Structure 1
Amino acid sequence: MSNKPVSLTTPPDGYSDWLTDLKNRIHHAQQRASLAVNRELVLLYWQIGQDILQRQAAQGWGAKVIDHLAHDLRTAFPDIKGFSPRNLKYMRAFAEAWPDSEFVQGVLAQLPWYHQLALLDKLPDAESRRWYAAKAIEHSWSRNVLVMQIESGLLQRQGKAVTNFEARLPKAQSDLARESLKDPYRFDFLNLGEEAQERAVESALVRHVTEFLLELGAGFAFVGRQVLVDVGGEEFFIDLLFYHLKLRCYVVIELKTGKFKPEHLGQLGFYLTAVDRQIKGDQDNASIGLLLCKSKNKVVAEYALSDKSQPMGIAEYKLQQALPAELETDLPSIEQIERELQPGNAD
């Protein structure tokens, strides 16, 4: 057999497409393998937690058994991280929080262990944990994004904007549109004081468009800032224009630094008409408007929206946020667990 190096020549027709297909298949296989490993790890940790719970309940073993178990498991498996007393306590808490094995296997096993720690550490009840777990799976959130969404109170804000969608949009689109908006929006990532003016907030949002899109939620795509529309020979500028991929429509966002006033909706409606006539394609649905203001009277907002024929929503935005204090717990922090699971670290 010849050991001569292979001569690289121009590949034959179709080679590039074949190579691209192979790389995609290899990448997908790697992803499936990684998911399978994670699934087995999460299920193993749940089973260990269940064993600890059952034996402590049945035989009256105290907390010290976890220290003994950690020592013996690390002696038996010195190259495997994750059997520290801290992580075993999390396994016990994990099994206690999720007694339904079918839910663990069908849903939670899709999330990495670090995500499980965040759900346990940051949330007090099963209902909120289920909601955030489902969202993390749906939107492929990283652990850091999951924690940020929890700490910003996404569950309490989702779908809370005052809108007229129910009366102005078909049922299916109305529900999705309502859930796509929240109230209030948190813009504390801008590091701006409450006195910041509209143009300063607008400019900062564009500079931090990645964080802005994350706060807006899944489906929003940035189109432009100060988008020009020419109406009757006069120039008008839309503060921020987005396209929502799931709703298949443009979303016009107007910023107001003061309290909401009913006349603000007249300007927003004008921009919606301009976008629908000049920008919207035949395949797009009617555009939606979102007015972001520093404060609003909910009753006034509902009255103002009631006679508007175009779909609109009104929500507040906050430039600074006091994060809620972390829940008191006897479990170690997520950061502690992460440090000890890193290669080369051990208790």
Structure 2
Amino acid sequence: MSDQLLPDDYSVLLQDLKERIRTTQVRASLAVNRELIWLYWQIGREIVLRQQQQGWGAKVVNRLAQDLQQEFPDMKGFSTRNLKYMRSFAEAYTDEQIVQQAAAQIPWFHNCVLLDKVKDPQERLWYIQQTIQYGWSRAVLTCQIESSLYHRQGEAVTNFEQTLPPAQSDLAHQLLKDPYNFDFLSLGKEVQERDLEKALVNHIREFLLELGVGFAFVGSQYHLEVGGEDFYIDLLFYHLRLRCFVVIDLKMAEFKPEYSGKMNFYVSAVDDLLRHPDDQPTIGMILCKSKNKAVAEYALRDVNKPIGISTHQMQGLPETLQSNLPTVEQLEMEMNAVSLEVSAQEVEA
């Protein structure tokens, strides 16, 4: 049928149906995942019980894997290795309610990553909840675990309780980490603040991942004019959940009390010049190489703008190796060249 003969509301109906189908597909996929993980837990529990009561050994588990694979050749989850994960899964989660309400809400291989890398039950449950809330892929989950995100949440020194409403204060405090991990940067020990800022902007995707969900990049060296004078903010973000601007000041030295005064000025200026009436109060973040907690707490005690003080760390490489290794920019150029060459070969083929 010609597009000209279609009803006027056809495109609207089509779009609505597409969204309904996609939503149903997602729900069906999640339901299948929950049922599959519930099945895996039950299999794992049976193995655990028989190992405890009847002394099942590895040979019996191997035979069970072979028989299940033979009976269900189209299902790929019955390898010996996966059966061992099922057993570990049942051992890790003895409470059926936790399985159904938490572990079964994320994909199976996410659970396998958690079994391998996180031994503390409370910490494991926290990562599950974060994965559900933010939709982390397995790669992102692995990265967050390896960077010890759980132990870095809410560790920054702040004055949020005194300067923000309770709900905003709690959320803002949870979102700040200490330290921030900048291992994705290839920088030497003598790096200057502008070098760090430039590197973070060049690797904004990794930087946003480290900052956490909700940060939207506004600009670097963001210009503000106050009283006819020019001022420049190192990094300016907007947080979508907090509904506020976030000012970041980078320091390559230990925290000094005067840093809080400068940040207080920046936050006040952003509140007056950029903040929309519907926005929440602007938040300042000072990222230093190190900090004395007592000094930081005194520096924020009587400051009336919400400010957090955290540290950043970079593992880096020995200086003797750094000069012999390509930079990230050089590697990216090489990867682009390879991609173009492969694309050209595919076209010729």
Per the normalisation by structure 1, the TM-score is: 0.88
User: 2: CA distance between counterparts of 1:194 and 1:242?
Assistant: 27
Asked if 1:98 corresponds to 2:93, the answer is yes
User: 2: CA distance between counterparts of 1:313 and 1:8?
Assistant: 57
Per the normalisation by structure 2, the TM-score is: 0.88
Asked if 1:205 corresponds to 2:200, the answer is yes
- Listed as ranges, the matches of 1:1-347 within 5 Å are 6-9=1-4, 11-320=6-315
| Number of residue pairs matched by the alignment | 317
1:289 counterpart SS class: strand
Q: Are the counterparts in 2 of residues 192 and 320 from structure 1 also a CA contact under 8 Å?
A: no
User: 1: CA distance between counterparts of 2:153 and 2:258?
Assistant: 26
Please, which runs of 5 or more residues in structure 2 have no aligned partner?
Answer: 318-349
C-alpha displacement of 1:310: 1.0
Moved more, 266-275 or 111-120: 266-275
Q: Which amino acid aligns with 1:80?
A: M
C-alpha displacement of 1:227: 1.0
Q: Are the counterparts in 1 of residues 186 and 316 from structure 2 also a CA contact under 8 Å?
A: no
1:259 counterpart SS class: coil
Alpha-carbon distance change, 170 to 278 in structure 1, aligned in 2, over 3 angstroms: same
Listed one character per residue, the Cα deviations across residues 267-292 of structure 1 (whole Å, up to 9, x for unaligned) are: 11111111011000111121110000
C-alpha displacement of 1:30: 1.1
Listed one character per residue, the Cα deviations across residues 237-264 of structure 1 (whole Å, up to 9, x for unaligned) are: 1111111222221111000111111111
Alpha-carbon distance change, 308 to 8 in structure 1, aligned in 2, over 3 angstroms: closer
User: 2: CA distance between counterparts of 1:85 and 1:250?
Assistant: 51
Listed one character per residue, the Cα deviations across residues 86-136 of structure 1 (whole Å, up to 9, x for unaligned) are: 110000000010011111112111100110001100011211111111111
Q: Are the counterparts in 2 of residues 39 and 109 from structure 1 also a CA contact under 8 Å?
A: yes
RMSD over equivalenced CA pairs, Å: 1.4
- Identity in percent: 60
Moved more, 214-223 or 285-294: 214-223
Please, which runs of 5 or more residues in structure 1 have no aligned partner?
Answer: 1-5, 323-347
Q: Are the counterparts in 2 of residues 259 and 293 from structure 1 also a CA contact under 8 Å?
A: yes
C-alpha displacement of 1:41: 1.0
Listed one character per residue, the Cα deviations across residues 29-55 of structure 1 (whole Å, up to 9, x for unaligned) are: 111111111111111110100111112
Alpha-carbon distance change, 10 to 210 in structure 1, aligned in 2, over 3 angstroms: farther
